[in-house]
């Protein structure tokens, strides 16, 4: 068996250039062997990252029998189409978030991947940073008592809005799809629970096309509550906090610790006056690539990891419905 997975990249998206291609280069079990794009930058990118093959179309790349898996960082509205096409060509798929825009697309994607015996994972890279496993260990140990609420904030200021695909509704733009999906995923992931009732509100851009910010309140199926705000019209904020009966855990670099060379911080306060900080180092994009590549090499990925996309988009859909109806929505 080969010791590394042979990857193809669909497009020259900025996230691929900035984060994933460096991660593939540094991963121990993955190698990018091809990239497909009509963009003039593709030759420079291929040279920079030592990618031997360049294809002028995505379909050409998918026909290459020397490729085991593909990474798809296309505009959100194109994810479902190209995931299914890649699956039909027998390629395993790592797809940028949000991998789909609604539950119907999610179910079709998973069904197509299963039918063609390929693995699929939505690229929520943050979950592979070891800080989150450490937080889960703290919660299980009862260090902050019984958990009552989790608060999540993730925002950034979107420059050059007129030129950015995040401002185009038809491409799956808006803050809920772009950063709110992380907030929802982190609540479900860290607390190991699902929302059963939510209320959401939004603020749109001046043209009324996409949501620039979303705030959501959740009632969770284990009795806890959660609140998140996601935005692309304000200063960068990147944290979550969990509050229990005996203390709190704050994670101030929850989603983009790569901006701090992979170093994250966990701050614990307890009602008996104890306070401590823990530093946790990890390179989440490399860990993401190595995790999925190892799944491919092993021939197995957990069912929950594949189907997690369905559960996450159910909540996104409920948020949009709550915004439209201006009321609580049962999930």
Q: What pTM value is reported for the model? A: 0.96
Q: Is 288 exposed, middle or buried (0-12, 13-18, 19+ CB in 10 A)?
A: buried
Q: How far apart are CA 112 and CA 116, in angstroms?
A: 6
User: Phi, psi (5° rounding) for residue 171?
Assistant: -100, 10
Q: Is 267 exposed, middle or buried (0-12, 13-18, 19+ CB in 10 A)?
A: middle
**Token pair listed for 257:** 């610790």
Largest CA distance in the chain: 63
User: Phi, psi (5° rounding) for residue 69?
Assistant: -145, 155
Q: How far apart are CA 43 and CA 143, in angstroms?
A: 53
Q: How far apart are CA 197 and CA 118, in angstroms?
A: 33
The closest alpha carbon to 319, from 329, 310, 311, belongs to 329
Q: Using an 8 Å Cβ cutoff, are 268 and 138 in contact?
A: yes
Q: How far apart are CA 217 and CA 199, in angstroms?
A: 5
**Token pair listed for 94:** 């790592």
Tens of pLDDT along the chain (331 residues)?
A: 459 999 999 999 999 999 999 999 999 999 999 999 999 999 999 999 999 999 999 999 999 999 999 999 999 999 999 999 999 999 999 999 999 999 999 999 999 999 999 999 999 999 999 999 999 999 999 999 999 999 999 999 999 888 899 999 999 999 999 999 999 999 999 999 999 999 999 999 988 889 999 999 999 998 999 999 999 999 999 999 999 999 999 999 999 999 999 999 999 999 999 999 999 999 999 999 999 999 999 999 998 999 999 999 999 999 999 999 999 999 9
CA 51 to chain centre: 25
Residue in this structure with the two tokens 């994670």, named with its chain if needed: 251
């Amino acid at each position: 068996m080969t010791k590394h997975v042979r990857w193809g990249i669909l497009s020259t998206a900025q996230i691929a250039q900035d984060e994933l291609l460096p991660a593939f280069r540094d991963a121990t079990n993955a190698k990018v062997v091809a990239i497909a794009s009509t963009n003039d930058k593709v030759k420079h990118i291929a040279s920079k990252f030592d990618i031997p093959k360049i294809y002028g179309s995505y379909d050409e790349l998918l026909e290459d029998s020397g490729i085991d898996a593909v990474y798809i960082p296309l505009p959100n509205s194109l994810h479902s189409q190209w995931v299914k096409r890649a699956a039909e060509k027998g390629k395993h798929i790592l797809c940028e978030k949000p991998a789909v825009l609604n539950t119907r697309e999610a179910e079709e994607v998973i069904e197509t991947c299963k039918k063609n015996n390929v693995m699929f994972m939505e690229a929520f890279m943050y979950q592979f940073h070891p800080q989150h496993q450490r937080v889960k260990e703290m919660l299980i140990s009862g260090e902050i008592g019984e958990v009552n609420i989790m608060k999540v904030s993730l925002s950034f200021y979107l420059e050059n809005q007129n030129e950015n695909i995040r401002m185009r509704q038809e491409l799956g733009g808006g803050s809920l799809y772009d950063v709110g999906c992380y907030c929802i995923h982190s609540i479900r992931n860290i607390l190991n629970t699902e929302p059963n009732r939510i209320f959401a509100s939004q603020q749109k851009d001046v043209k009324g096309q996409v949501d620039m910010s979303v705030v959501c309140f959740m009632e969770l199926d284990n009795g806890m509550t959660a609140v998140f705000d996601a935005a692309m019209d304000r200063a960068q904020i990147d944290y979550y906090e969990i509050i229990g009966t005996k203390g709190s855990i704050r994670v101030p670099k929850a989603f983009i610790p790569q901006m701090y060379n992979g170093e994250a911080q966990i701050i614990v306060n307890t009602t008996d006056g104890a306070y401590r900080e823990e530093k946790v180092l990890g390179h989440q994009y490399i860990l993401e690539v190595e995790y999925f590549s190892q799944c491919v090499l092993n021939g197995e990925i957990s069912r929950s990891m594949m189907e997690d996309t369905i559960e996450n988009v159910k909540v996104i859909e409920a948020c949009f419905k709550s915004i439209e109806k201006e009321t609580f929505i049962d999930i």
